[in-house]
């Protein structure tokens, strides 16, 4: 007879750090509790794998894009206790990055976004980049200068912390016959513009429609387009640390843009 799990997707990862699957399951359940954008159902979370709802991919449609934009706005506005906080019930840091080289996602509790972004996102990656030889000490000094600006609230918008997917590039947005379903989060509390910036970093189907529908439900703060690159600095630095190459120059040009 077929395995009971044959109708599901079993996610494994040979090099997963201890607790990784519990982290992902906690994030999926926390996002689902927002009653906004749909996320893949967690059937079971074990120490060495996840059993998830199996999804069937369909063609992206305009109605699905509109619904996704509206639903993502509702996920974000569900909120979280602080900038940098993890999913409900999760203790310690999380993880983010490619499966071959997962990096810690630092978590904490900050009242202001800029301070959190400097201390938990940009600077830890810059230090890791120097340690690995991907970045120079001069690069680190530039990131530190931007960190000072962020701590001084140079780019804060005064909005409350949002409930983020945290790794929302197109590969995590699954278009099905029943609409968009999100997978593989690095869920945490942050600035809502971060998820939108991640969608724009590598492109995503029907993105203008998604953004317009989002803005109808939760209007974006003036000047958000000028902050897109700022929010992309975190994934760009992560790519610079892991992959090097052109990502280093792209990330550092972005840092210099905001100095």
DSSP letter string over 155-167?
Answer: T---PPPEEE-S-
CB atoms within 10 A of CB 107: 19
What is d(CA 39, CA 48) in angstroms, rounded to the nearest whole number?
A: 21
What sign does the dihedral 191-107-17-3 (CA atoms) show? negative
| pLDDT at 2 (0 to 100) | 38
Q: What is the pLDDT of residues 72-126, one digit of tens each?
A: 999 999 999 999 999 999 999 999 999 999 999 999 999 999 999 999 999 999 9
What is the distance of C-alpha 116 from the center of its chain? 14
Structural domains in the chain, sorted by start: 56-257 (3.90.1200.10)
Mean pLDDT of 230-234: 98
Mean pLDDT of 26-30: 98
Mean pLDDT of 5-15: 85
What sign does the dihedral 235-125-184-187 (CA atoms) show? negative
| pLDDT at 5 (0 to 100) | 52
- Indicate the average pLDDT of the chain: 96
Would the pTM count as exceeding 0.85? Answer: yes
Judge residue 77's burial from the number of C-beta atoms within 10 Å of its C-beta, 0-12 exposed, 13-18 middle, 19 or more buried. Answer: middle
| pLDDT at 1 (0 to 100) | 32
DSSP states of the chain: ---GGGGEEEE--TTPPTTHHHHHHHHHHHHHTTTSS-B--EEEE-SS-EEEE--------HHHHHHHHHHHHHHHHT--SSBT--STT--S-EEES-TTS-EEE----BSSHHHHIIIIIIHHHHHHHHHHTSS-HHHHHHHHHHHHHHHTTTT---PPPEEE-S--SGGGEEEETTEEEE-S---EEE-HHHHHHHHHHS--TTHHHHHHHHHHHSPPPTTGGGGHHHHHHHHHHHHHHHH-THHHHHHHHHHHHT-
């Amino acid at each position: 007879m077929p395995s009971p799990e044959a109708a599901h997707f079993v996610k494994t990862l040979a090099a997963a750090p201890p607790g990784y699957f519990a982290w992902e399951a906690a994030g999926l359940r926390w996002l689902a509790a927002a009653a906004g954008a749909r996320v893949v159902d967690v059937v079971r979370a074990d120490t060495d794998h996840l059993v998830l709802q199996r999804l069937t991919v369909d063609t992206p449609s305009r109605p699905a894009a509109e619904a996704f934009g509206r639903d993502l706005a509702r996920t974000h506005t569900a909120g979280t206790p602080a900038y940098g906080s993890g999913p409900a019930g999760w203790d310690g840091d999380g993880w983010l990055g490619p499966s071959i080289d997962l990096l810690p996602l630092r978590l904490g509790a900050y009242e202001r976004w800029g301070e959190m972004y400097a201390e938990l996102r940009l600077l830890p990656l810059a230090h890791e980049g120097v340690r690995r030889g991907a970045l120079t000490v001069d690069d680190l000094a530039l990131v530190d200068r931007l960190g000072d600006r962020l701590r001084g609230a140079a780019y804060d918008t005064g909005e409350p912390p949002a409930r983020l997917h945290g790794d929302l590039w197109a590969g995590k947005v699954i278009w099905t016959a029943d609409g968009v379903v999100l997978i593989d989060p690095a869920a945490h509390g942050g600035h809502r513009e971060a998820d939108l910036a991640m969608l724009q970093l590598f492109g995503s189907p029907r993105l203008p429609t998604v953004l317009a529908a989002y803005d109808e439900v939760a209007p974006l703060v003036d000047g958000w387009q000028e902050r897109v690159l700022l929010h992309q600095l975190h994934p760009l630095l992560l790519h610079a640390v892991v992959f090097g190459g052109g990502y280093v120059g792209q990330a550092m040009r972005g840092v210099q843009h905001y100095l």
